[in-house]
A and B are shown apart, each in its own frame.
Chain A
Amino acid sequence: RKEVEQDPGPFNVPEGATVAFNCTYSNSASQSFFWYRQDCRKEPKLLMSVYSSGNEDGRFTAQLNRASQYISLLIRDSKLSDSATYLCVVNIYGNYQLIWGAGTKLIIKP
């Protein structure tokens, strides 16, 4: 089983719709969680951190479920510019490494 798993997609979503991704992690010692966005042929960039209490940034909402060991990302009122690959990242306590999911590809269609 992979340490961090994501549905690779692609998710084809009409503009204005709401879309949600999940990411599951296997190590219960995971401490920090992040969502990154990667545009085609570009480096990943931080979208948002995921806190235990959940967090919201405009149209984006991230949630953490420690009991079921997954994090989620919800995008409301999707825009064409939201088309990208969304990477889930987990940091395990005391470990220098970040564990990356393979990413979920999102395509927003007009």
Chain B
Amino acid sequence: SQTIHQWPATLVQPVGSPLSLECTVEGTSNPNLYWYRQAAGRGLQLLFYSVGIGQISSEVPQNLSASRPQDRQFILSSKKLLLSDSGFYLCAWTYRGEAFFGQGTRLTVV
């Protein structure tokens, strides 16, 4: 069966510090991978998606970047965090339109 791992679950980072969130998928190959952000009480905002290694599409130009160095690995990064980067970050993969999410990372920038 397929599983998706995302870590860490919670993170508190100072403004200006770097960020690296990692997501890995098991049990499938060449998945479509996604990074979402959810602000408190809001819907899901698509940040990046990838249909293959090295292929990244950005939906919202901002302080973040994404990379896909391996087929089942998706990384979200920032060189310098802003207060506005706080939120709930979710990694997901899709199969036939259905999305499967990691547990999410709750990031607080202080």
Interface residues of A (CB under 8 A from B): 31-32, 34, 36, 41-46, 49, 87, 89, 91, 96-98, 100-103
Contacts and interface: CB of A to CB of B under 8 A. Distances in A.
Contacts, number: 47
B46 interface: yes
Interface residues of B, number: 21
A86 B18 CA distance: 33
Contacts of B103: 42-43
Majority DSSP secondary structure for residues of A touching B: strand
23 contacts: A31-B97, A32-B98, A41-B88, A41-B106, A42-B104, A44-B90, A44-B99, A46-B98, A46-B99, A46-B100, A87-B44, A91-B97, A96-B32, A96-B51, A96-B94, A97-B49, A98-B34, A98-B97, A98-B99, A100-B44, A101-B43, A102-B43, A103-B43
Given A43-B90, A43-B104, A32 B96 contact: yes
Contact of A34 (B32, B34, B51, B97): B97
Nearest to A88: B43
A87 B45 CA distance: 13
Contact of A89 (B88, B99, B106): B99
B98 A34 contact: yes
Interface of B: 32, 34, 42-44, 46, 49, 51, 88, 90, 94, 96-104, 106
Nearest to B91: A43
Contacts of B104: 42-43
* A-B interface, 10 closest residue pairs, ranked by CB to CB distance from nearest: A102-B43, A32-B97, A43-B101, A91-B97, A100-B44, A43-B104, A96-B32, A100-B43, A43-B90, A98-B99
Nearest to A33: B97
A69 B104 CA distance: 31
A51 to B, nearest CB: 12
